[in-house]
Amino acid sequence: MTTRIFASIFVCLFSVAVLGQQQGPKPQGPSNGPSAKPPSRWWTTEKYRQELKLTAEQTAHIEKIFQASMDRMKVQKEDFDRAQSDFSQLMKQGAASERELLRAADSLELARFKVSSERTSMLVRIHSVLTPEQRLLLQAISKRDRDHDRNGSR
């Protein structure tokens, strides 16, 4: 009996966390407050290309990595949305067994992991295109822009 109560509490708390994440954080930018990093496609911005002294080959290679990853993430995001919808429907029905809910939760978390993993892999591949000096400079630029945004928003 106590196991069922704890399982029910866990499922309720988990659903609140999942439903809270559905809206997700608002993207950072001019209309939504300070940005914590360079624009998501910083290599397409002349300012960043010049500061980092990116070659045309590096820029093209990074764009190719980005596009390939975005294609994969689009499919993975669709899988995630489907798993999230399935989980939400089971939660709303109220008739699903604990086993069904946990299986749906596992599917949801696996889909979330795949999206996150692809994003991290993309960042690693982009990182490998940059020279060690460019990596350090990109970190410094990110910090500078983050500090500027913080000070400018006060």
Helical (H) or strand (E) element with 127: helix 98-129
Q: Which pLDDT score, from 0 to 100, does residue 149 have?
A: 81
For the chain, the structural domain boundaries read: 71-142
Q: Which pLDDT score, from 0 to 100, does residue 153 have?
A: 58
Q: Report pLDDT digits (tens) over 19-39.
A: 333 333 333 333 333 333 445
Tell me, yes or no, if the pTM score tops 0.85: no
All residue ranges of the chain with pLDDT < 70 are: 1-39, 153-154
DSSP assignment of 37-79 equals SS-TTGGGSHHHHHHHT--HHHHHHHHHHHHHHHHHHHHHHHH
